[in-house]
Chains A and B, each alone.
Chain A
Amino acid sequence: MSNAQIERQWTSRLRHRVVEKLPPEKLLPDTQPAYVASWIYVFGVTTMAALGIVILTGTILALDGPQWWHSSSLGHFINSMHLWSVEIFFFAMVVHLWGKFSMAAWRGGRSMTWVTGGVTFLASILAGFTGYVSQTNFDSQWISTQAKDGINATGGGAFFNVLNLGQMLMWHIVLLPLAAVVLTGLHVIMVRVKGVVPPFEETTEVSA
């Protein structure tokens, strides 16, 4: 096989494209522009850290099944960590959103970064909601019977039955975490490819 043939292979082409778009020094940078000097920049990584803890505690909860936490004090504690990491997750994500809005961080070809962030927010809300209705307690009974009306009104209730615990639990522990992680991954890759948005150019009033 000649070199040219190898270069034409799908695998080679994909590798070239990836390396060109996202070279290692962009994926894992060791420097950043000097304008990145504000605490507002830490809320993206805080959101991801919280997502990590949410997944970790959720994984521990999954080990012994959906009702273990009602009867085990360790289970209840892990459930508490799951709840509070979710609160921190949304807290950090909202501050991150306000920060990125303030910087108009979609400028310079970064609009899809904003869009994936927004969709991640929606997926997270749905993930949180399915968690609330999977608790198998009074809270989940009430939330599911209330939420059914809204979802039914859209026609979606026929396929997404919030009163079906098995369905909600599957969405909560498989489908939506997968969506959240994939979307977050795309979001972060886009940030690394394009870099952090540069400041607005301040129009300097010329006085002389």
Chain B
Amino acid sequence: MAQGWGLGALFNLDHYGHYIQWHVIQISVANLVVIILMVATFIAALFAPFPGRRNRKGSK
């Protein structure tokens, strides 16, 4: 579809999606990945050491 500019997708996501069903819950793999990444990012942001702010005492 997107030719000429060489801007076509490397991964074609236009096929029918995959879905996970668990009781009443039904979610597309794509959305699940996004949500898992969101939770993972939150946890990583909490625990990852923040650079350059250690041992800086002395008040303004």
Contacts and interface: CB of A to CB of B under 8 A. Distances in A.
A–B contact with Cβ pairs below 8 Å: the answer is: yes
B46 A40 contact: yes
A77 B7 contact: yes
B34 A37 contact: no
Contacts, number: 47
Interface stretch (A59-67, A94-102, A143-151, A181-189): A94-102
A7 interface: no
Interface in B5-60: 5, 7-9, 34, 37-38, 41-42, 44-46, 48, 50, 53, 56, 60
B-side interface size class: 20 to 34
B4 A43 contact: no
A91 B46 contact: no
B40 to A, nearest CB: 10
Contacts of B34: 87, 91
A154 interface: no
A131 to B, nearest CB: 17
B50 A99 contact: no
Contacts of B45: 38-40, 42-43, 95, 99
A76 B1 contact: yes
B56 A39 contact: no
B50 A39 contact: yes
Contacts of B46: 38-40
Contact of A73 (B5, B41, B44, B56): B5
A98 B1 contact: no
8 contacts: A37-B50, A39-B46, A40-B46, A73-B1, A76-B7, A77-B7, A80-B9, A95-B41
Interface of A: 31, 34, 37-40, 42-43, 73-74, 76-77, 80, 87, 91, 94-95, 98-99
Interface of B: 1-5, 7-9, 34, 37-38, 41-42, 44-46, 48, 50, 53, 56, 60
Query: Sorted from nearest, which 10 A-B pairs have the closest CB atoms?
Result: A73-B2, A37-B53, A39-B45, A77-B7, A73-B5, A40-B45, A76-B2, A37-B50, A73-B4, A95-B42
